[in-house]
C-alpha cells in the first residue's frame, strides 16, 4: 500500500480540498485494512473487502479513495448513524473492525499545534501525527451481511404492484399480499408534479 502522504494527496484530489476529514479517513482506512489482513484493497484483495460507513461527510470520500470500495460496486454500505465511524470487513475470513474517530481528539489537537490560531488548521495538522489511540477507538466486531447486500448481480427484480417500477436487491415491501416499492409503501422522498413520459405499467390488480 502507498504511504500516508501519497494516499492523502490522492484523496485530496478526488475530494477537491484538504481537510481534517480527509486525514481521518485515510488514517482510519490504513489502520482498518491492516487489522483485518487486507494488503491490496484495489487489487488482489478487492473482492474480500466490504466497508460500512456511518456518516456522509468528508472522511467517507477518503475511505473510498484508499480502499477502492464504493456504493456502485456494492462493496460499501452507508448506515445513516451520523457517527464518524466505519467498519472494515474481510469477507473471506469474517474478521471485522469498527473504528470511531474520538470526539476528544478535537480538543487534544490544540496541544500539538498551539501556535495555530485556526482550530480547523490545528485539527488538520494534529490528526496527521496524533497517536492512533488518541485519535481513534477500535472495536472487534462481527457483521451479518445479508445476501441481498453483498457484491454481485441482483438476486431478483420485483415489479411494484402500485406504480410498476422494478425493485432490485430485495428492497421491495410486502404489504397486504402486494409487493410495493418503498415509495409506494410510504417512504417517498419526492412529490410527483407531472410526467415527462409516463412509464408503461404491468400492474396486478
The string of DSSP codes covering 17-74 is: S--HHHHHHHHHHHHHHHHHT-S-TTTTTTTTEEEEE---SHHHHHHHHHH---TTTT
pLDDT on residue 117: 87
pLDDT on residue 204: 56
List phi, psi (to 5°) of 166: -95, 130
Contact predicate 34/49, CB 8 Å? no
pLDDT on residue 205: 47
Between CA 130 and CA 91, with CA 54 as vertex, the angle to 5 degrees is: 95
What is the span of the domain harbouring residue 167? 153-205
Q: For the range 115-118, what are the long-range contacts, defined as Cβ-Cβ under 8 Å and sequence gap of 24 or more?
A: none
Enumerate residue ranges in the chain where pLDDT < 50.
205
180 and 199 co-located in one domain: yes
Q: Looking at 147, 167, 187, which one is the last position of a domain?
A: 147
CATH number at residue 120: 3.30.1330.130
126 and 176 co-located in one domain: no
Q: Looking at 147, 167, 191, which one is the last position of a domain?
A: 147
94 and 180 co-located in one domain: no
Tens of pLDDT, residues 26-71: 999 999 999 999 999 999 999 999 999 999 999 999 999 999 999 9
Amino acid at each position: 500500500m502507498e504511504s500516508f502522504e501519497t494516499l492523502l494527496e490522492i484523496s485530496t484530489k478526488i475530494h477537491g480540498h484538504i481537510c481534517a476529514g480527509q486525514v481521518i479517513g485515510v488514517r482510519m482506512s490504513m489502520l482498518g485494512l491492516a487489522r483485518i489482513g487486507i494488503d491490496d484493497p484495489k487489487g488482489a484483495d478487492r473482492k474480500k473487502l466490504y466497508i460500512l460507513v456511518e456518516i456522509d461527510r468528508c472522511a467517507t470520500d477518503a475511505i473510498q479513495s484508499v480502499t477502492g470500495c464504493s456504493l456502485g460496486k456494492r462493496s460499501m454500505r452507508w448506515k445513516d448513524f451520523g457517527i464518524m465511524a466505519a467498519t472494515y470487513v474481510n469477507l473471506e475470513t469474517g474478521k471485522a473492525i469498527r473504528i470511531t474517530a474520538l470526539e476528544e481528539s478535537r480538543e487534544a489537537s490544540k496541544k500539538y499545534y498551539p501556535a495555530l490560531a485556526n482550530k480547523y488548521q490545528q485539527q488538520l495538522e494534529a490528526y496527521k501525527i496524533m497517536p492512533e489511540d488518541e485519535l481513534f477507538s477500535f472495536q472487534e466486531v462481527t457483521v451479518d451481511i445479508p445476501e441481498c447486500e453483498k457484491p454481485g448481480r441482483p438476486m431478483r427484480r420485483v415489479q411494484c404492484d402500485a406504480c410498476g417500477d422494478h425493485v432490485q436487491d430485495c428492497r421491495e415491501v410486502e404489504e397486504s399480499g402486494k409487493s410495493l416499492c418503498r415509495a409506494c409503501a410510504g417512504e417517498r422522498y419526492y412529490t410527483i408534479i407531472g410526467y415527462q413520459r409516463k412509464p408503461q405499467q404491468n400492474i396486478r390488480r
